[in-house]
Amino acid sequence: MARPPSFRALIGDRGPILIVLLGAGALSSTTGGVVDPIFPEIVESLAIDPRWVGVVASIHILMTALAGPVMGLLADRLGKRPILLTCLVAYGVFGLAGGLATSVPALVASRALVGTASGGLAAASIGWVSALYDGQARTIALGYTASALATASVFFPLLSGALGGQDWRWSFGLYGLALPMAAIASWLLRHDRGGDRANLGQLSTLRRTLGQVPIQVACGGLGLASAFFAVVIIYGPLHFKAAIGATPLLNGEILAARAVGAALMSAFGASRLARWLGTNRAIALGLGAMGLALGTIPLFVDERLILVDALLFGVGFGAVMPNLYDWLSQMAPVSTRSTILALGNGCAALGHFLSPLLLGPIWKYQGTAVFYVAAIAAVAVGGAALGCDRWAAEQLAQRIEEGMGDQP
């Protein structure tokens, strides 16, 4: 087995480029992280109906799901740089506008526009990173990408919780960080060729790729994992505020603990776990950890146990997402990889949005039962992934033989 490239070899002379791309991707991953710790305060201030709190909280996710594939296609056609820069500016402007909202419709409009910009950031940044590497190097690079995104998810909830403790509107100022980043990106990425347009040829290649079962399975897996994640970040803060009187700062710490677990696993464990156990078994193990953490949320009232439980959930999530994205990348032809990865991100966003839409009535009428339902579903999906282990290996071998995928 070939020795995986070191971090220094992986970076090479691409350090400034990667910093910008990871920064843009991190902003896309914290679109909800800015609002989640202060969402209970927003619900009280704007008098949002309990049944629809999840939908309001995740409207940006729906727009990310819808915009992501379109932005990915545009990134492949027009080049990733113009998409990245435009979406950074839009993200900053519309994000700041949310802090000025005085009604639910105004807040929803702002969140929807931020979600659209977030879809473009994810499509351009993840697609660009994927285009810089091949094979095992790309697997590790995507792991570092997921880790950077998760790391940002540690700090943004903490910052948002601290600012929101004064006034929830102050937290929206964090979106303004996208504006100076747009200026920096415009300068650093002016000569890089990784963001050039791809030669797509006819759209039949894309249609043929989307019709393949492995691509559909990977996208479905991303959607389901994100649906389970939505349960803890939407209903978790509401539950902890009701059960233990959690402040915005404590809710931010709980969200940050999940992000710490995800960051550590994504950077240091996901690729190793996949090499030791196989991709599907690593995904199944991660889903099992997520299910265990979900099922024990209502049982803990001690802050330390709550933080440990949150860390466990993050570790499971960090094992699942990088391996699903890597699987999707390996299955996709190079010419349409940005579009396919953006579609995967869109499916993840769609799963996040549909989760509260489907589980909202359970939360309204049965409360903490929503965590048990999600836990059972996560374990069931993990079992299904374990049962598909041989099929997944055969599909990857077939793609490599056909020259469509990369040797892991």
Does the model's pTM come out above 0.85? no
- What's residue 408's pLDDT? 44
Rounded Cα distance, 173 and 243, in Å: 29
- What's residue 300's pLDDT? 93
229 or 387, which is more confident: 229
Q: Give the pLDDT confidence of 285-317 residue by residue, as tens digits.
A: 999 999 999 999 999 999 999 999 999 999 999
DSSP string, 215-247: HHHHHHHHHHHHHHHHHHHHHHHHHHHHHH---
Q: Give the pLDDT confidence of 237-258 residue by residue, as tens digits.
A: 889 989 999 888 888 889 888 8
**Complete domains list, the chain, with CATH:** 16-195+204-402 (1.20.1250.20)
Q: Give the pLDDT confidence of 187-242 residue by residue, as tens digits.
A: 877 765 555 555 445 455 566 666 677 778 888 889 999 999 989 988 998 899 89
Residue type for 281, please?
R
For the beta carbon of residue 158, count every other beta carbon within 10 angstroms: 18
Give 378-382's long-range contacts (Cβ < 8 A, gap of 24+).
378/228, 378/287, 378/288, 378/290, 378/291, 378/294, 379/287, 379/288, 379/291, 379/292, 381/221, 381/224, 381/287, 382/283, 382/284, 382/285, 382/286, 382/287, 382/288, 382/291
DSSP letter for 299, please: G
- What's residue 202's pLDDT? 44
Of all residues in the chain, the percent with pLDDT exceeding 90 is: 23
- What's residue 101's pLDDT? 86
22 touches 148 (CB < 8 A): yes
Listed residue (138, 146, 397) closest to 263, CA to CA? 146
71 touches 87 (CB < 8 A): yes
- Report the b/e string of 21-47 with b at 16+ CB within 10 A: bbbbbbbbbbbbbbbbbbbbbbbeeee
DSSP string, 148-190: HHHHHHHHHHHHHHHHHTT-GGGGGGGGGGHHHHHHHHHHHTS
pLDDT at 184 over 90: no
Q: Give the pLDDT confidence of 78-108 residue by residue, as tens digits.
A: 777 888 899 999 999 999 998 888 888 888 8
152 touches 69 (CB < 8 A): no
CA atoms within a 13 Å half-sphere pointing along the CA-CB vector of 277: 20
Hey, is 65 helix, strand or coil?
helix
**Ramachandran region, residue 246 (left: φ > 0; alpha: ψ -120 to 50; beta: rest):** beta
Residue type for 103, please?
S
Q: Give the pLDDT confidence of 8-65 residue by residue, as tens digits.
A: 555 555 666 777 777 887 787 778 778 888 888 888 888 877 777 777 887 888 888 7
What confidence tier does 259 reach under pLDDT thresholds 50, 70, 90?
A: confident
Mean pLDDT of 175-179: 91
Rounded Cα distance, 81 and 161, in Å: 33
What confidence tier does 407 reach under pLDDT thresholds 50, 70, 90?
A: very low
Mean pLDDT of 101-124: 87
Rounded Cα distance, 210 and 10, in Å: 30
Angle CA 405–407–408, to nearest 5: 110
377 touches 384 (CB < 8 A): no
Q: Give the pLDDT confidence of 128-160 residue by residue, as tens digits.
A: 776 666 666 666 666 667 667 666 767 788 888
pLDDT at 375 over 90: yes
What confidence tier does 334 reach under pLDDT thresholds 50, 70, 90?
A: low
- What's residue 138's pLDDT? 63
Between the alpha carbon of residue 280 and those of residues 43, 138, 319, 384, 388, the distances in Å are 39, 18, 11, 9, 7
Mean pLDDT of 379-390: 80
CA dihedral 32→37→40→43, nearest 10 degrees, is -30
- What's residue 1's pLDDT? 45
233 touches 359 (CB < 8 A): no
